[in-house]
Structure formats: structure tokens, C-alpha cells
Amino acid sequence: MKKVIANKEVDVNEEGYLVDFKQWDREVCECIAGECNVVMTEKHWEVVEYLQDKHLKEEPLSIRGIKKSGVINIKEFYALFPGGPLKKSTLIAGIPKPKSCI
């Protein structure tokens, strides 16, 4: 499917996740975050960069992995990305939804 985000046409799946990570940039990220009612802060960007790095290394993502990362504690992760933090943060980061998310 095609969707216009930040005045750019991007490819998304049926859940709204980007199909092609190369289409992601900060403007696209800000728009997706806005759709999720998330206002990006430096801590959000730090988490997004961590998630993208893990994705590029083809390492699986999980809440437990986030907890052990040292990037953010779980309480803060839930506060930054309320309503399904891993699902929402990966959507904003422009990477596929982790298999651990339903």
C-alpha cells in the first residue's frame, strides 16, 4: 500500500509499518510519531536509533532486550511510547513490527 507521510509517498503494510526502511527519515519519523500522539524528544531519538541499529544487525527485539540494553528503563520506555511501547516505537523507527508483538 502507498501512504503519504511528510509529503512523501511511502510503502506501508496493512498495519502501517514501512515496507522499505530506505524511505524513513526524520520528517517521516516526526509525522508517524504525531499520528501516534508522541512528541519526539532526545530520549525518543536515542531509543529509535537503538532500535534501528538492532534491526540493521538483524537482532531480534523484545521488551526484555530493551530492559537489558541500558538505553532506557522499562518504566520510562512505557512512558515515552504509551499503549504498546515496542509496537509503537518500531513503527516510529520505520522498522518491521517485532515477532514478539501481537
Distance CA 92, CA 37 (A): 11
4 forms beta bridges with 9
**From the candidates 29, 31, 36, 101, which is the catalytic residue?**
101
Q: Specify whether 101 is catalytic.
A: yes
DSSP E strands, the chain: 2-5, 8-11
> The dihedral of CA 39, 91, 88, 86: what is its sign?
negative
State the catalytic residues: 101
